[in-house]
Amino acid sequence: MSPDPHPSSNPIPAVIYCRVSSPQQKIQGHGLESQESRCREYAKRKGYDVEAVFPDDITGGGDFMKRPGMVALLSYIDAQTQKSFTVIFDDLKRFARDTEFHIQLRRAFQSRGARVECLNFKFEDTPEGKFTETIFAAQGELEREQNRRQTCQKMRERIKRGYWVFKAPVGYTYETVPPHGKLLVRREPLASILREALEGFACGRFAIQAEVQRFLEDQPEFSKQNGGVHPQRVTELLTRSIYAGFVEYAPWGISLRKGHHEPLISAKTFEAIQARRAGAKRLPTRADLHKDFVLRGAVCCADCSVPYKSAWSQGKRKKYAYYVCQTKGCESYGKSIPRDRVEGDFADMLRGLTPSQALYGAATAMFRDLWDARLSRVQETQATLRQQLKAAEAKSQKLLDRIIESETPQLAARLEAKFNELELSKAVIEEKLNCAGQPGRPFAESLEHALAFLANPWKIWEKGAFEVRRTILKLVLTAPWPYHRKTGPRTPQIAFPFNALGGNDAGNFSLVPPHGLEPRTY
């Protein structure tokens, strides 16, 4: 091609537009650099003065006004209406891969008085030229749609075989693992943090989702890397079956199935989470608990039995923390108690829950007997679980047949939801069957933390974080602890294990007399 000479005193202004289909191509490949290089060589041969280059790393399908580079290019032309620009790009597919938006983009340039030139295609303002341009644009759209269809088909089949194909969820990352190919693997420490949060909600350590949110917010590794923690994100984490080792994708009609990746929690734990979310809260818990007042909601006014409020009071030199009764009509209304006094008395009460050595040994022996009795029923348990699994499989097959035969989408959707519930139930039964008779940990290790807590809850309270202390409150108290502003604490309602083990000497027990416990009558 021979260069088109132009007067050096008045060169034609030009801009270059380059595009690749994804950010990955921008980082790993050299598509943008090679396109720009070819366009600059073309402009040099034509004698154009290249003023700016506008790159994009977004797909060619869809609205061109959603491409940042194209929006910047049009704005650049609009800002210099006195100039007639020539827009240069490498290939027609870089312009647009959608027929409708191709035509709209051509009109956008024409309305601005800008000419469009392509290295691999010659634009002509003739009926034949417009027809050829439309055919090429339609061909680009056809190729894009075909590629999208093939990609979706491959992704759909891979999900059906138990592999996740979309963006890795929080706590996972993708690695190449033979013979699976790209497979989700744990990403630490996020995986361990998330597992603790999910299991904590399932077992009741976190009574409501707000407590899960506070726990995650306290983990710098989690909150910094995931754009913060908000209620909607917590709900998503609690309801994603992928953390239990399953994959599903409702928009493509792919029901729940076992995945090949390592789960963070068991299917039983996931089922417990969904049951807790669907059911009523077991314990009333405030969502606005503040870490400065760990006893809020757990200590109440002895006069009106309403839990104390908490607040900071500004003194002359510093602030002071108080628990205060705000129940109108109560004798203690508006009266406050220093926080340190209340929480100090609670710590003293915990110190008094230490059991005697004889009862501690008796509890250990009792737990050992229960452990051995449970292990002795292994075969019976396995037989029962096999029957449950067989019944669930039969019911699941019937539901599958009904889904295939259903003619209405609404009925099919309800049946599919029931089918997913059965699949989850089957997974839970299979986990129980695989673990039946095989304790996850030895007896001593399993009982170590429980007995350590029962032996000295105050020691754990003293060193525990806010969430640990809130858990201790739920385990020790069965009702709010009455506390009077003048006379101090009243008798707390202590949970059964501490009532059974606390402050009693095993040698003081005796048999019931023959006449019973009722007073004698004469």
CA angle 358, 364, 369 (to 5 degrees): 125
The two beta strands, 12-20 and 48-57, are parallel
- The one-character DSSP state at 502 is B
CA distance 346 to 323: 13
- CATH classification of the domain holding 46: 3.40.50.1390
Backbone phi, then psi, for 499, in 5-degree steps?
Answer: -65, -35
Tell me the CATH number at 367.
1.20.58
Using DSSP's 3-state secondary structure scheme, residue 303 falls into coil
Q: What angle do CA 207, 208, 212 make, to 5 degrees?
A: 95
Both 462 and 323 in a single domain? yes
pLDDT at 210: 83
CA distance 394 to 414: 18
Model pLDDT for residues 327-374, shown as the tens digit of each residue: 888 888 888 888 888 888 888 888 777 666 665 666 677 767 766 666
Confidence of residue 321 (pLDDT cuts 50, 70, 90): confident
Q: Is residue 16 part of a domain?
A: yes
Same domain, 41 and 117: yes
One domain, residues 54 and 102: yes
Instruction: Identify whether 516 is part of a domain.
Output: no
Q: Which residue has the higher pLDDT, 306 or 378?
A: 306
Q: For residue 453, give every residue at least 6 positions away whose Cβ sits within 8 Å of its Cβ, in sequence order, or none.
A: 460, 472, 475
What average pLDDT does the chain have? 76
Cα(164)–Cα(149) distance, integer angstroms: 18
Residue-level pLDDT at 511: 45
Q: Beta partners for 118?
A: 89
- Same domain membership, residue 189 and residue 234: yes
pTM score? 0.53
Distance CA 438, CA 454 (A): 26
Q: How many residues does the chain have?
A: 522
Going by C-alpha positions, the residue among 307, 306, 310 that lies closest to residue 293 is: 310
Domain boundary among 403, 423, 448: 448
pLDDT, tens digit (0-9, with 9 covering 90-100), for 237-267: 898 888 988 888 888 878 888 888 988 888 8
Q: Which of 9-18, 23-32, 64-73, 75-84 has the highest mean pLDDT?
A: 75-84
Structural domains counted in the chain:
4
CB contact at 8 A, 33 and 19: no
Q: How many CB atoms lie within 10 A of CB 161?
A: 11
Domain check: are 43 and 128 in the same one?
yes
Give a yes or no: residue 350 inside a domain. yes
Q: Are residues 249 and 367 in the same domain?
A: no
Specify if 140 maps to a domain: yes
Q: Work out the number of other CB atoms within 10 angstroms of the CB of residue 151.
A: 11
Q: Which of 448, 469, 491 is the last residue of a domain?
A: 448
**DSSP state at residue 348:** H
Is residue 289 over pLDDT 60?
A: no
* 232 is a domain residue: yes
Give yes or no: residues 349 and 437 share one domain: no
Amino acid letter, residue 417: A
* Bond from prior residue into 284 cis (ω within 30 degrees of 0): no
Give φ, ψ of 507 to 5 degrees. -75, -10
**Which token pair is 392?**
């669930």
Q: How far apart are CA 24 and CA 46, in angstroms?
A: 33
397/498 same-domain check: no
β-strands 309-314, 319-324 pairing: antiparallel
What does the alpha-carbon distance between residue 342 and residue 348 come to, in Å, rounded to a whole number? 10
State which amino acid sits at residue 514: P
Whole-number Cα distances in Å, 273 to 34, 113, 185, 353, 359: 53, 62, 23, 32, 35
- Give the span between the Cα atoms of 482 and 489, in whole angstroms: 6
Token pair 């609009």 is found at 78
Residue 161 covered by a domain: no
Strand-strand pairing, 172-177 and 181-186? antiparallel
pLDDT (tens digit per residue) in 370-423 = 666 666 666 666 677 777 777 777 777 777 777 666 767 776 677 777 777 777
- Asked, for residue 162, whether it belongs to a domain, the answer is no
Q: Residue 270 sits in which domain range? A: 172-278
CA angle 166, 197, 233 (to 5 degrees): 45
Is 288 domain-assigned? no
Domain boundary among 382, 413, 448: 448
For 130: left if phi > 0, alpha if psi spans -120 to 50, otherwise beta; the answer is alpha
**What average pLDDT score do residues 4-16 get?**
69
**Co-location of 473 and 349 in the same domain:** yes
The answer to whether residues 333 and 425 belong to one domain is no
Whether residue 179 has a cis bond before it, omega within 30° of 0: yes
Residues 89, 50 share a domain: yes
Residues 100 and 55 in one domain: yes
On whether the CB atoms of residues 323 and 345 are closer than 8 A, the answer is no
